[in-house]
Structure formats: structure tokens, C-alpha cells
Amino acid sequence: MSAPFFLRAREPVGRLVRRAPEPSLGRLRAAVAALFALDGFVFGTWAARVPDVSAQVGAGHTALGAALLCLSLGALACMQLTGALAARLGPGLVASVAAVGVCATAVLPGLATSVPALCAALLAFGAATGMVNVAANSVGVQVEARAGRPILSGLHAAFSFGGLGGALLGGLVAGSLDVPTHLVVVAGAGLLLTAALVPVLVGADASTRAVLAPTLRVEPRRRPTAVLVVLGCIAGATAYGEGALTDWGALHLREDLGAASGLAAAGYAGFALTMACGRLAGGYLVARLGERRLLIGGTALAALGALLAVTTTSVPVALLGFGVVGLGLANVFPLAIARAGALGGSTGIALSTTVGYTGLLGGPPAIGFLASHAGLPVALGTVALLAVVAAVLVALVDGDRVRLPAVPALDLAPVHRAAGDLRILAVA
């Protein structure tokens, strides 16, 4: 029986990568930062036009929620597959294909004319988004290994700034450009940028051992799965906070604190800005504080900020709390994913990202359910709770193992003596 196409294709891909010149570290880092920024810009553009797309297809809140769920499900469905492809074909090549995919599929929601069509469009867009997230992080971990210092947080800052730029520009042109035209222009610009990045990204795979292996047989490598899952839970607990504040923060400011619409929107802007700035300083903070102290300190700071935001009656104090949450969470997700990449490669990144993404997926619906029963401030207070959970999980990770707290052994000697006394009394 002939080998499957997936395996037979690996050697031609290897020859393609051999012909691509290996880029310098500076060029590769700039290319990966541009890839993260492109991903953020495209997603921020889509987020800015969600109300217009919703009106275009006539979707109510429930229907729109179902459509947005399709986006997350598409991302989750592709993440594990992307990790396997990146491990076999090279993360640079997969990232290049994913960048083309995310630009092309970003147009689809603008072309939808019904809710089912929008669900299908967002399923495809979500799949491309999940693919580019895993592939970009895989290349980022590769760059970090070459640099010999933590830089993944800075790359995630590029995503944050790209998202801010896409959202701001989308808001500015919303009154003058219809949705399909806007998304086509963004996709075209993204494809031009991708064309410039492809040679650098593919060239980065030239030194990837998995691609250049002379045989098709790959020996299985043991992965510390328990640690990868815990790292994914750390990422997910913090992604929960990001999703919660993104979708519900402005509503809390407007409905519970009486903020004006513009000021309520500033809550997310402040959160995103402090997160981006915190990620820019991530490498410096890791060098000064160490990874574990930064993770525990960041999650503790996020918990404090969340409590500040939901217990105050002052809009400025709540805005300050949102900013503190962004600053605290800034480096937790990228550091957790970087550790997963160091331990498990592309497949480790895929596993931890998939687990982590469930926090972003499940956060907003969970907040909505809790808000309907206990009120929005109490529901948003769970952001602080999960930040504390993330801090505890960080303390349990020890290298490539999960260190569970020791359970003190029970001293059963008194029990045995008591049982002996009872037997003596019974005989007497």
C-alpha cells in the first residue's frame, strides 16, 4: 500500500524549504510580529463591523450569539490539526497558508445575507483564525529559541496593537464604506503583506529538524501531557477574563454605573491598551522578576483590578480597574503558550491553545448566565476568581511536571492501640 498523501507530500515540502534562504533573526522577528499584527488587525476589523453584519442578515441577539459561537467552534476544530501540520511540514509554511486563509475568509461574513450563511462564513473564518493562532505561536516559539530570551509577549503585543488599529479604523470608515467593500479592501491589503512575509516565514523552516528529516518515519516523542493541559488551563483562566471584559465590560459601565456610551467604550480600549503595553515590557519583566513570579504577580494584580472594577460605584475607578486587569493578564497567556512550546513543540502549543481557547469561548456565555441570576457585577467578579485559580495552577507547575501538594500521612498507631484495647476488654 502506498503512503498517504499527507506523508508523501512531506518530502517535496522539505525540498521547497531547503531552497528558501534562512532569514536573519531580525528579519524573522519582524516578519512574525507583522503576522501577529495582521491577525489582530483582521480580527479587530471584523469586530468593528459586527453590528453592521448583524443588521445586514437581520440577526437578533440569540441568532448573533449562535453565529459567534460558530466562529469559536471553527477555531477549536482546527487547532489540533494545525499543530500536527506545523510539526510535520514546518510552522513557517503552515503560518503562511493560514495567513492567506484568514485574509480570504474574512470577506465571507460581509457577503452573508442570512443567519445560516453567516454561521457558515464564521465557521470558515474561525477555522482560519485558529489555524493562524497556533501557527504564529509556533513560529514565535521558534524565534524565541533562536533569540535565547523571552520575546513571545512582545509578539502578542503586536496582535493587541493590530486589533486596536483594526477596530479604530473600522469605526472610522463604518459610515462611509459598506461591509463587503471594507472587508475586501482589508483582505487585499492583508494578502499583499502576506506575500512579502512568505519567503521569510518559509525560510525559517530551513533549520526545522522535523521538516528536513530524510525519512518519513518519525519516532514518537513523549510529551508531558499533564503539564500541557495545566498550562492550557492557566491560559484559559486568563482568556476567560479577556473575553468577559471584551463582551461585558462596556455593558457594566453603562448599565450598572451609568457611564455614557463613549465612556463605556473607553473601558475596553483602556483594557486593551494596558494589555498591549504590558506585553511590550514582557521580556524585560521576565528578565527582572522571573517567569513564575511574573505569572503569579500578574494573576494577583488582575484579580485585584477585577474586584476594584465590580465593587466600585465610580466610573473612573472602574476604568482604572479594567486597566489593571489588562496589565495583570498581559503576559500570562503568551508565557503559558511559550512554556508549552518549549515542552511539546507545535503539538504542545496546539494542545495548550485548544484548552486555553475554551476560556475565551466559555467566558462570555458563562458571564451572561450568571448575570441573569446574580447580576452583572457578581458575574464579572468571577474574573478575579479564575485569576486566583490561574495563580494556584502556576504554583503547581514544576518544570515538565505537575507538583501536587503533599498529603500528610495519617498516624494510625493510636487507632491500632485502641482496637487492641477493645479486643482485650472483649476477651475479659
SS3 content of the chain, % helix, strand, coil (to 5): 85, 0, 15
- The whole-angstrom separation of Cα 267 and Cα 245 is 8
- The whole-angstrom separation of Cα 110 and Cα 122 is 10
> 401 phi and psi, to 5 degrees?
-130, 155
- The whole-angstrom separation of Cα 231 and Cα 332 is 10
% of the chain beyond a pLDDT of 70: 81
- The whole-angstrom separation of Cα 60 and Cα 58 is 7
pLDDT at 406 over 70: no
Looking at residue 341, its pLDDT comes to 81
Looking at residue 304, its pLDDT comes to 95
Q: In this predicted structure, which of 24-33, 88-97, 208-217 has the lowest mean pLDDT?
A: 208-217
Contact criterion met (CB below 8 Å) for 144 and 18: no
- The whole-angstrom separation of Cα 140 and Cα 138 is 5
Looking at residue 98, its pLDDT comes to 94
Q: Which domains does the chain have, with CATH numbers?
A: 1-203 (1.20.1250.20), 223-404 (1.20.1250.20)
Looking at residue 7, its pLDDT comes to 40
Reported confidence tier of residue 9, pLDDT bands at 50, 70, 90: very low
Provide the grid cell at 290. Answer: 522571573
Provide the grid cell at 181. Answer: 467593500
% of the chain beyond a pLDDT of 90: 26
Looking at residue 350, its pLDDT comes to 81
pTM as predicted: 0.74
> 397 phi and psi, to 5 degrees?
-80, 125
Contact criterion met (CB below 8 Å) for 124 and 108: yes
pLDDT in tens, 133-154: 889 988 888 888 888 887 888 8
Mean pLDDT of the region 391-405: 73
Task: State which H helix or E strand residue 398 sits in.
Answer: strand 397-398
Q: In this predicted structure, which of 38-47, 182-191, 254-263, 283-292 has the lowest mean pLDDT?
A: 254-263
Looking at residue 376, its pLDDT comes to 83
Residue with cell 503595553: 277
Looking at residue 13, its pLDDT comes to 47
pLDDT in tens, 331-352: 898 888 888 888 887 788 888 8
Distances (CA, A) of 416 to 44, 279, 339, 421: 68, 59, 48, 9
More confident residue, 215 or 274: 274
pLDDT in tens, 237-287: 888 888 788 767 777 887 788 877 667 667 777 888 888 899 888 888 888
